[in-house]
A = this chain, B = another copy of it.
Amino acid sequence: MADVQLDGLTSDPVTMGWMVGAPPPPDRRILGARADHMRFPMIRWSYSNMRSFCPTVRIAASGKGTPFPRALRDDLGAVRFTPLGSQGEISFDDALLAAFTDGILVLHKGEVVFERWFGVTGPETRHIAFSVTKSFVGTLVQMLVGEGRIDLAARVDSVIPELARSGFGSATIGQVLDMTTALDFSEEYGNPNSGIGAYSAALGLTPRPASYTGPHNLWDYLTTVPGAGTHGERFVYRTPNTDVLAWIITRIEGKPFAEVLSERLWQPLGMLGDADLIVDEAGAPFAGGGLNLRLEDLARFGEALRLGGLGVIPESDVDRIWRGGDPERFHKDAYPLLGGWSYGSQWWHAGDNHGCFSARGIHGQTLWVDPASEMVIARFASHPTAANGANDPHSLPAWRALAEALKA
């Protein structure tokens, strides 16, 4: 099944016929018990249908949201650019296929100027955002910082005593927020013995081996992550930092994370639709990557940040998000394509002359904010490769080329 020869076009989930029919033919079923929903090419269907594989809770919208106005510019599909490390130009339309795009929206000055849907993904689809989820969490943290309810200089174990003996306990909340914690944890996808492998087993997103004896939920798991080294020295991307942040938010707010996200962002921002948040068997939110939302609602989040928070996120909090992290602390070896970038407040910052910042999730999930160009791009994808290094060569220069085209 995992035919790596399939490209963005031939892996189209409608063409492949996943889960069509009652019952679907056996070779066209996507079985969670086999972890099919996390394997290419089945992910081209499953990432748009995660609630049918995982326990979820509802992030309630207000029901009063209105769509962005449309001012579509179909010429944008023909915009040409040179992918990183390539010789020849390709068109933006071709790049969409190269990125295994499921849906993309480009906002310019608050209007949708470009919109494309592929496969089984459409405007109402709740597509998994993976680590784009983290940027929602980081924004909530900054809002609580602004209210004086979170002190970024405080130690994690002052809020979550359960983490005292873990590697997180001695870190400051600010270090967790910027992922400069020093932990014995590797974010190596596909290796069940890596940190992220153990994290995934605790979360239960795919079936656990029968011999599994580890933690059965994220809260218990987080208490087991050992420290290694000195906090604050360098940024190393490690997903469970975000789950610690969600735990802190939940403890401080005294209510489930899903409710906080609904009350503080989903409802006041006028999101168009409820979102689905994956939870584990104890009810812990998969804050590191479990948000499933409408693409236009993702764009709305970016637009709100571009415009200073729209009165929902206080401007001083948005300022701290815009500021980014310390490029000197960036994990340069891990991201050869991201020279000059930094990571701060659970956001990625390009460090370019447009002030661009981004939320990024595996397999190509993207929210790209280009303040100088008054442009926001939201993209869902199901690229065969988890790491965004596989997508960036086609994506980062495309965003810049779009910005240039929109000047015209």
From A33, which residue of chain B is reached at the shortest CB distance? B281
Closest B residue to A54 using CB positions: B55
A283 CB-CB contact with B under 8 Å:
yes
| Alpha-carbon separation in the docked complex, A369 to B29 (Å) | 41
Within 8 A of B (CB), among A264-285: 274, 279, 281-284
Q: Which of A57-65, A130-138, A168-176, A322-330 contacts B (4 or more CB under 8 A)?
A: A57-65
In Å, the complex CA distance between A107 and B202 comes to 47
Which among A18-26, A234-242, A379-387 touches the partner chain?
A: A18-26
1/0 per position for A211-241, CB-CB distance to B under 8 A? 0000011011000000000000000000000
| Candidates B53, B60, B250, B283; contact of A19 at CB < 8 Å | B283
Q: Are B217 and A23 in contact (CB under 8 A)?
A: yes
B52 with A282: CB separation less than 8 A:
no
CA distance A124 to B263 in the complex (A): 14
Is chain A's binding surface mostly helix, strand, loop or mixed? loop
CB atoms of A24 and B58 under 8 A apart: no
Q: Are B52 and A51 in contact (CB under 8 A)?
A: no
Q: Is A247 engaged at the interface, CB distance under 8 Å to the other chain?
A: yes
Is A71 part of the contact surface with B, judged by Cβ < 8 Å? no
Interfacial residues, chain A to chain B (CB-CB below 8 A): 19, 22-24, 29, 31-33, 49, 51-58, 60, 63, 124, 126, 216-217, 219-220, 247, 250-251, 256, 274, 279, 281-284
13 A-B residue pairs with CB within 8 Å: A19-B283, A22-B219, A22-B284, A23-B219, A23-B220, A24-B282, A32-B55, A33-B216, A33-B281, A51-B55, A51-B58, A55-B55, A63-B63
